[in-house]
Amino acid sequence: MSNKATRIYFDNAATTPLDPAVLEAMMPYFTDKFGNPSSIYSYGRESRLAIENARKTVAKILNAHPAEIFFTSGGTESSNTAINAAIHDLGCRHIITSPIEHHATMHTVDHLYHLGEVALSHVKLLPSGHIDMDDLEQLLANSQQKCLVTLMHANNEIGNMIDLHAVGNLCKMNGAIFHCDTVQTVGHFPLDLRATPVHFITGAGHKFHGPKGVGMLYINENVKIKPYIHGGSQERNMRAGTENLYGIVGFAKALELATEQYDTQSNYIKGLKLYMMEKVKNVVPGVTFNGDPLGRSLYTVLSVSFPKTEKSEMILFNLDINNICVSGGSACTSGADQGSHVIRAINNDPNQVTVRFSFSKHNTREEIDFVVEKLKEMI
């Protein structure tokens, strides 16, 4: 393992490597099958068919109707579309969210709040990092205006998961719209949207070994909204712009593979997470784990806080030098020094340094042994 060229990739919550079988499914659309899906000749119809087949595949896996699935450029666009639609088309005037949402949600909500378009409430968190359901119930019951509740299914930094059905049913009882950022769970957990009380969910292909730059938005068939991006009549008049043909084909293929492999891979990856927890606990005194890693939690993510010392402050830098890819909090703010809003919200201890390890089917116990060995030297 000491070979310098060996890279250990433990940042799968940020992005994942493309599955070779997904690339293979995409290749023809890069080369021969490049017709514009909006063209009427057979060459264009072939591309249109590929997109509609992808839509059917995704709908079938999520147990939704194909007419409820829209392809986008990723999770960020999907969340922006849903949140803006809830305010501008569905009459929501009060947004209830949490302090630990992904920036794609948080910044969208803050923007609408600063424009003066909505009232904004943040639901309390329990010490475990979970949503305080009693507080959510209070906020909904006390709201004079129609609410949009936007809460993520699984947190990208600490892995905590909400009870999707419990939140959805609370929203239903209170006539609220429910948008759930499921970017970390589509492709990692079975979802049955027919049986789930939710109006909008989101997905991103690159979180489950598909391509970057393609995502999906599920819009429940009972919800009628206007397009967020204007122009042509693509995506049944819901999203203008020539479709990302190869991305969409890749998204569906990756979701198909992830679903087929779910039982074996999820057990395998969960085993890696538990193994790493054990190993780190044994070699680093004073280490703590953020969130609820053994409870209702994403099996791919492990957030670890180390006691802050001169050595451990350099931990990300030193891991990088050793060809180990991890992130300090959320991937989307790495490089910026302000640290993680998620860790601040649940564990505001300045004497700790937090590292997120996130695993995929490609990782091994040997890699964990190597990383833990290095951590020992660094701390």
Mean of all residue pLDDT scores within the chain: 95
In a domain, 1, yes or no: no
Given this model, what pLDDT does residue 350 score? 84
Q: Would the pLDDT of 152 be above 70?
A: yes
Residues 251 and 278 in one domain: no
Residues 275 and 247 in one domain: no
In a domain, 246, yes or no: yes
Average pLDDT over residues 44-55: 97
Two structure tokens written together for 285:
């005194």
* 207: nearest Cα among 176, 239, 162, 250: 250
Residues 12 and 81 in one domain: no
- Lowest pLDDT segment from 214-218, 307-311, 323-327: 307-311
Residues 256 and 286 in one domain: no
> Which one has a higher pLDDT value, 336 or 75?
75
Given this model, what pLDDT does residue 338 score? 66
Q: Would the pLDDT of 66 be above 90?
A: yes
Domain containing residue 339: CATH number:
3.90.1150.10
Residues 305 and 174 in one domain: no
Given this model, what pLDDT does residue 347 score? 84
In a domain, 183, yes or no: yes
Residues 210 and 323 in one domain: no
Q: What is the CA radius of gyration of the chain?
A: 21
In a domain, 153, yes or no: yes
pLDDT in tens, 5-38: 689 999 999 999 999 999 999 999 999 999 999 9
Residues 107 and 148 in one domain: yes
Cα dist. 131→176, 193, 199 in Å? 17, 22, 19
Residues 272 and 326 in one domain: yes
Residues 48 and 100 in one domain: yes
Average pLDDT over residues 308-337: 77
Average pLDDT over residues 38-43: 94
In a domain, 2, yes or no: no
Q: Would the pLDDT of 307 be above 70?
A: yes
Given this model, what pLDDT does residue 348 score? 81
Q: Would the pLDDT of 302 be above 50?
A: yes
Instruction: Name residues whose C-beta falls within 8 Å of residue 205's C-beta, 6 or more positions apart in sequence.
Output: 74, 211, 212, 213, 214, 215, 247, 250, 251, 254, 255
Given this model, what pLDDT does residue 335 score? 47
Quote the CA–CA distance of 249 and 25 in Å, as a whole number. 7
Half-sphere exposure of 188 (CA within 13 A, CB side): 31
Q: Would the pLDDT of 308 be above 70?
A: yes
Q: Would the pLDDT of 330 be above 50?
A: no
Given this model, what pLDDT does residue 2 score? 47
pLDDT in tens, 219-276: 999 999 999 999 999 999 999 999 999 999 999 999 999 999 999 999 999 999 999 9
Average pLDDT over residues 302-315: 90
pLDDT in tens, 109-143: 999 999 999 999 999 999 999 999 999 999 999 99
DSSP string covering 192-249, please? -GGGS--SEEEEEGGGTTS-TT-EEEEE-TT-----SS-SS-HHHHTS-S---HHHHH
Domains: count for the chain? 2
Given this model, what pLDDT does residue 329 score? 59
In a domain, 319, yes or no: yes
Domain containing residue 183: CATH number:
3.40.640.10
Residues 350 and 214 in one domain: no
Residues with a catalytic annotation lie at: 332
Which of 260, 282, 315 finishes a domain? 260
Which of 260, 285, 308 finishes a domain? 260
Q: Would the pLDDT of 74 be above 90?
A: yes
Given this model, what pLDDT does residue 5 score? 62
Residues 320 and 252 in one domain: no
pLDDT in tens, 191-218: 999 999 999 999 999 999 999 999 999 9
In a domain, 310, yes or no: yes
Angle, CA of 65, 68 and 69, to the nearest 5°: 100
Residues 62 and 176 in one domain: yes
Q: Which residues form the domain of 28?
A: 20-260
pLDDT in tens, 337-378: 567 999 999 988 888 999 999 999 999 999 999 999 999 998
Go through 356-375 and write b for each residue having 16 or more CB atoms within 10 A of its CB, e for each that does not: bbbbbbebeeebbebbbebb
In a domain, 288, yes or no: yes
- Of the pLDDT bands very low, low, confident and very high (cuts 50, 70, 90), residue 1 is very low
Which of 237, 260, 283 finishes a domain? 260
